[in-house]
Amino acid sequence: MLQHQSRANASTVSSVVQSSPVVLDNRKAPPPLDADRMRMYPRIGNRQIVGYGLKGKPEYFDLVMFPCPSIRWEADTPETAVLRKKEQGDWKQLSVDEKKRLYRASFRQTFEEFTASSGLWKWTLGWGLIALSALTLAYDGWRRIAYNFDKPSSMSDEKLKQQMQFHIAARQGPMSGLSSKWDYETGTWKK
């Protein structure tokens, strides 16, 4: 679209006021073309073109480098049409809520909102730690499965019992350990 033509169309006074939030209903027959509807670009709907923007295209953007996008964010509903009429008068008569409503009709996010930090570092750290622990567990599981050897023969019950008899005969732990619990006169455990 030629720039001068789009600029001529971008009148700040008249804009298409849409009554319902749904612009095109696919279930119904397509509406007949008229002058107002011909201003309705397929991609932007009934929103008003107000500026040049980035490259002359009627697209909305929230950028720090370019504060003013080329189209308004919302199309004019009857309520905002009333507010726009009030905006042509004294701005001191506008309440804070009305001014905020007007701002949100023209822009999607405030500067503070689209420059706020995303908190991505929390996700990165969390998933990094989860991945690290998952790898550790997988490695340990692999070692337990792949390197599952039989127990040595000296871990059988009879051999362990015999080892304990040897320890007691050699008086291992006489003060507070194993042999202190064995009664050598009777040859049994102490009561």
Closest CA to 184 of 142, 171, 85, 27: 171
Closest CB 50 distance from another protein, rounded Å:
5
| Stretch of residues binding another protein (CB under 8 A), selected from 60-68, 127-135, 140-148, 173-181 | 60-68
CA angle 93–101–92, rounded 5-degree value: 15
Binding status of residue 33 toward another protein by CB under 8 A = no
Contact pick of 22, 33, 35, 96 for another protein (by CB under 8 A): 96
Using CA atoms, how far apart are residues 44 and 59, in angstroms rounded to an integer? 7
Binding status of residue 110 toward another protein by CB under 8 A = yes
In the bound state with another protein, the residue whose beta carbon lies nearer, of 55 and 191, is 55
Binding status of residue 19 toward another protein by CB under 8 A = no
The encoded tokens of residue 6 equal 């789009």
Contact pick of 16, 23, 106, 168 for another protein (by CB under 8 A): 106
CA angle 93–97–101, rounded 5-degree value: 105
| Stretch of residues binding another protein (CB under 8 A), selected from 45-53, 125-133, 163-171, 181-189 | 45-53
Q: Which DSSP string do the residues of 79-133 spell out, in sequence order?
A: HHHHHHHHHTS-GGGS-HHHHHHHHHHH-SS-HHHHTS---HHHHHHHHHHHHHH
| Number of residues engaging another protein in binding (CB under 8 A) | 39
Using CA atoms, how far apart are residues 23 and 45, in angstroms rounded to an integer? 7
In the bound state with another protein, the residue whose beta carbon lies nearer, of 107 and 182, is 107
Binding status of residue 52 toward another protein by CB under 8 A = yes
* Residue position matching structure tokens 């905020």: 100
Binding status of residue 91 toward another protein by CB under 8 A = yes
Contact pick of 34, 90, 150, 158 for another protein (by CB under 8 A): 90
- Taken as a whole, the chain contains a residue count of 191
Q: Footprint of another protein on this chain (CB under 8 A)?
A: 7, 10, 12, 50-52, 62, 64-68, 70, 84, 87-88, 90-94, 96, 99-100, 102-103, 105-116, 118
